[in-house]
């Protein structure tokens, strides 16, 4: 079975390390490939059959897709591949011809193996690159082709709002992919614990990527701009043994972080501090790891305050940080200046896709 796994752009390597380690634990043969066919934000896993022994000692097949949906912290979706194909030249083709090719391709697939005629279905589509067709065109064309195929076996049921089976059709550049989306309509990065929705919250998958980059080893940990608490909560959910602090300047967000932590069942594992990160040393004497999604101040007016905010924060951080810091921001110039002028060194830099932007991520020591 081939599973197409989706995640944020720029963290495919970390997601594939996680997937390998999860698959190792269930003893299934596998091969994992980052960015299959060069497609960013994707990891392909070819997996063999996995089994477990039930309470009566019987050997049962284990659904690898369900297992990954349950256990992964870095993935967004787990999609069982039906087929994929290279559609050379589709970018320049007129809509009728491009959609005709997609329809013929889908019509040749054994779709009935993946959905019972009694089950309702819907097609969700995704398109990236230059094309003369839209993702809505793709969903309609693929939906019609599947409907026609299933009609040979009975009366197919389409339910666009609450389908039992979700087909996912993707056209990325000149690669077309069709699969069954086992995750459902809500991406895995939308955590069920989020009861307080901060306007600039970080995706939980990216929070976990930042934690992986920080490699916290049990020492004390702080998110000095913790907002709704995404990073500290995700760390606590991993069973982190060290002290975890969540510092935030605004009471409303700190209360939100507390509510999220309560809902995640980790309220007792985190210290919530109402305070200003530019006076960090007044709140903590020393800290081993600091990981944060810095304020970007996209609103005009506030943006001019960013260089000073970063400079003040990093000069405070220099007084207390013992091991490593990981920070994500759009403000490349301001952060690099603040890092360098306060005696830190950049050990690693990468771009991560977040909210439609490629955001700069730094590991500093
Ligand atoms: C990008 S948001 C962090 C979002 C967070 N990662 C989450 O997932 O909810 C930045 C946060 O920094 C807070 N903030 C701004 N200036 C601050 C300061 N001087 N000290 C502490 N927090 C501050 C903002 O109120 C905001 O909640």
| Side-chain-side CA neighbours of residue 238 (13 Å) | 24
Question: How far apart (Å, rounded) are the C-alpha atoms in residues 333 and 307?
Answer: 8
Query: Residue 302: is its pLDDT beyond 70?
Result: no
pLDDT of residue 356: 87
What was the pLDDT predicted at 117?
A: 86
- % of the chain surpassing 90 pLDDT: 93
Residue 354 Cα to ligand 1 middle (Å): 16
Going by C-beta distance under 8 Å and a sequence separation of 6 or more, which residues neighbour residue 307? Answer: 331, 333, 334, 337, 338
Q: Is 200 in the pocket of ligand 1 (CB under 6 A)?
A: yes
**Atom 5 in ligand 1: residue holding the nearest Cα:** 227
Q: How far apart are CA 63 and CA 80, in angstroms?
A: 11
Whole-model pTM? 0.95
Instruction: Tell me the per-residue pLDDT of 311-344, one tens digit each, with 9 for 90 and over.
Output: 999 999 999 999 999 999 999 999 999 999 999 9
Tell me the helices (H) and strands (E) count for the chain, helix number first: 10, 17
pLDDT digits (tens, 9 = 90+) for 168-179: 999 999 999 999
143 Cβ closer than 6 Å to some ligand 1 atom: no
pLDDT digits (tens, 9 = 90+) for 206-260: 999 999 999 999 999 999 999 999 999 999 999 999 999 999 999 999 999 999 9
Closest CA to 191 of 158, 250, 234, 235: 234
CATH number of 2-181: 3.30.2130.30
Quote the CA–CA distance of 242 and 244 in Å, as a whole number: 6
For residues 272 and 254, what is the distance between their CA atoms, to the nearest angstrom?
7
**Cα-to-centroid distance, 254 and ligand 1 (Å):** 9
Q: From the CB of 203, is ligand 1 less than 6 Å away?
A: no
**Residue-range domain boundaries for the chain:** 2-181, 204-364
Q: Which CATH number fits domain 204-364: 1.10.357.10, 3.40.50.300, 2.40.50.140, 3.40.50.150?
A: 3.40.50.150
Q: How far is residue 203's CA from residue 192's CA, in Å, rounded to a whole number? A: 12
- In tens, the pLDDT along 251-298 reads 999 999 999 999 999 999 999 999 999 999 999 999 999 999 999 865
Q: Given a cut of 70, is residue 300 above it in pLDDT? A: no
Q: What are phi and psi of 323, to 5 degrees?
A: -115, -75
Q: What distance in angstroms lies between residue 220's CA and the mean position of ligand 1's atoms? A: 20
pLDDT band at 299 (very low <50, low <70, confident <90, very high): low
Distance 258 CA to ligand 1 centre (A): 14
Per-residue pLDDT tens digits for 39-85: 899 999 999 998 888 999 999 989 999 999 999 999 999 999 999 99
């Amino acid at each position: 079975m081939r599973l197409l796994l989706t995640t944020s752009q720029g963290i495919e390597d970390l997601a594939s390390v996680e997937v390998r380690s999860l698959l190792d634990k269930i003893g299934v043969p596998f091969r994992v490939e980052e960015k299959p066919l060069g497609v960013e934000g994707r990891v392909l896993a070819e997996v063999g059959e996995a089994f477990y022994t039930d309470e009566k000692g019987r050997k049962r097949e284990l659904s690898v897709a369900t297992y990954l949906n349950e256990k992964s912290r870095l993935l967004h979706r787990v999609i069982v591949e039906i087929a994929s194909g290279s559609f050379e030249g589709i970018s320049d083709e007129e809509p009728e011809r491009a959609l005709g090719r997609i329809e013929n391709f889908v019509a040749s697939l054994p779709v009935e193996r993946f959905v019972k005629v009694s089950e309702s279905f819907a097609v969700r589509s995704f398109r990236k690159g230059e094309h003369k067709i839209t993702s809505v065109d793709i969903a309609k064309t693929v939906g019609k082709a599947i409907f026609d195929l299933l009609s040979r076996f009975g009366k197919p049921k389409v339910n666009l709002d609450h389908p039992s089976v979700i087909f996912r059709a993707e056209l990325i550049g000149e690669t077309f992919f069709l699969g069954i989306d086992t995750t459902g309509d809500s991406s895995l990065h939308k955590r069920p614990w989020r009861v307080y929705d901060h306007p600039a919250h970080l995706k939980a998958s990216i929070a976990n990527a930042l934690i992986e980059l920080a490699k916290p080893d049990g020492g004390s940990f702080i998110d000095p701009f913790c907002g709704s608490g995404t990073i500290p909560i995700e760390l606590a959910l991993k069973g982190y043994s060290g002290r975890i602090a969540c510092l935030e300047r605004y009471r409303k967000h700190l209360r939100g972080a507390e509510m999220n932590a309560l809902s995640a069942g980790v309220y007792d594992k985190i210290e919530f501090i109402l305070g200003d990160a530019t006076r960090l040393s007044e709140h903590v004497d020393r800290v081993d790891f600091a990981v944060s999604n810095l304020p970007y101040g996209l609103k005009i007016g506030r943006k001019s305050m960013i260089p000073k905010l970063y400079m003040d924060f990093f000069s405070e951080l220099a007084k207390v940080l013992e091991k490593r810091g990981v920070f994500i921001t759009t403000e490349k110039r301001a952060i690099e200046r603040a890092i360098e002028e306060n005696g830190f060194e950049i050990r690693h830099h990468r771009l991560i896709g977040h909210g439609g932007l490629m955001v700069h991520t730094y590991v500093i020591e």
